[in-house]
A and B are shown apart, each in its own frame.
Chain A
Amino acid sequence: MKEFKGDAIAWEIVDGCIELVLDRPPCNEIGSITLQELERFTSALDSLETETHALIVYSRQPSGFCAGADLRELYYRSKEVGAEAAATGVRDFLERIHCVLNRIDASPLTTIAAVHGVTFGGGFELALVCDLIIADKMARFCFPELRLGLVPGFGGIPRLRRDLGNAIVRDLLLTGRSLNAAKANAVGLVSQVTAEGQALKVARLAASQVQKFDRTTSAAAKDFIKPIPYTELRREIELFCRLFSEPAVNAGLRKFVESTDALPYLP
């Protein structure tokens, strides 16, 4: 499928580059609909990769790239089905989202996340599977999961540790603070910082540069320098599932859902 327009994402090929667009209000929260559509995307990827050099992931939502997992859906579904079925459902969701993200991580294409605004939790984890992160200067990165009694569950810790020093990973994880684009660039997380509203344009320029290189060489270089931390990713799923059964999580989720604030887990 060369192009697709769903309820949460869309993709098309533009100048030899796949453009994957996140477009689900309010801020591309990743729930079951987004997951199903991402699975359609990764199923189509084998075919798309034969005629493209790069993949750009970006958001059409003004508030940001992606605010992470759909915690409202998680809370209400858990309440509906009960604790045991909820735990099974969470594990199934994690296994599936990991398959999607591992597939994008392993793509032979050069992959670029063009981000702006809120890039939190699962959204940050989606950006981390990409080879390059190009950030609008108003972008912010954060792992707020500890506020909910959880750890990032979409591969965030192993992938962040793959890219950065352990100290900054601990800082982000244990304080839950957000980093602006300038700081993210300074620590090596973001490769380029752009003016407001220019991340996609700059990502497209990077994608056109990538097209100048031999595909096989680019893929070999990527494979050499960007190993996928499968063992740690597996451990992260187990840790998340263990923590999910703790009472603190339900209390954190309830507080989140009952809040009318735009970003309930933030100050």
Chain B
Amino acid sequence: MQSLEQTVDEILNLASSHFKVSRSELSPTDDFFKTLKIDSLQALELLTRLENHFRIELPDYEVQGVSDFQTLGERIQARL
């Protein structure tokens, strides 16, 4: 199984590529709503992209209140 660090790295790569933000500007502790300048609708889109990428199912209530990449990575890691 891949490490949490790898998972967070993949999340950051995906977010950078989809939301057109330089990868170097993203770090695990960032608030993704602020860094990516996204609203809840786009956060839902990010969730769907992450589910498709990792081939997992992540109920949205599990990410309720989560706003940083690291915690998001931990939630995903628990499903891998």
Residues of A within 8 A of B (CB): 63, 117-118, 137-138, 140, 142, 175-180, 182-183, 261-264, 266-267
Contacts and interface: CB of A to CB of B under 8 A. Distances in A.
A180 B61 contact: no
Given A118-B41, A263-B41, A175 B48 contact: no
Interface secondary structure of A, over-half rule = loop
Interface in B13-68: 39-42, 44-45, 48-49, 51-52, 55, 57, 59-61, 63-66
Contacts of A175: 59, 61
A180 B41 contact: no
A212 B59 CA distance: 41
Contacts of A264: 40
Contacts of B45: 117, 138
Contacts of B51: 180, 182
Contacts of B42: 262
**A-B pairs with the 7 shortest C-beta distances?**
A267-B64, A262-B41, A262-B39, A177-B59, A263-B40, A261-B40, A180-B51
Nearest to B51: A180
Contacts of B64: 267
Interface residues of B, number: 19
Contacts of B55: 182
A118 B44 CA distance: 9
A123 to B, nearest CB: 14
Contacts of A262: 39-42
Given A263-B40, A266-B40, A267-B40, A138 B59 contact: no
B44 A266 contact: yes
Given A262-B41, A263-B41, A267-B65, A180 B60 contact: no
Contacts of A183: 57
B65 A180 contact: no
Contact of A180 (B40, B48, B63, B66): B48
A232 B61 CA distance: 29
B39 A267 contact: no
A206 B51 CA distance: 27
Nearest to A27: B41
A105 B57 CA distance: 30
- Interface core residue of B41, B42, B57, B61 (most chain A CB under 10 Å): B41
Contacts of B65: 267
A210 to B, nearest CB: 29
B62 to A, nearest CB: 9
18 contacts: A118-B41, A137-B48, A137-B52, A138-B45, A138-B49, A140-B44, A140-B48, A177-B60, A178-B60, A182-B51, A182-B55, A262-B39, A262-B42, A263-B39, A263-B41, A267-B60, A267-B61, A267-B65
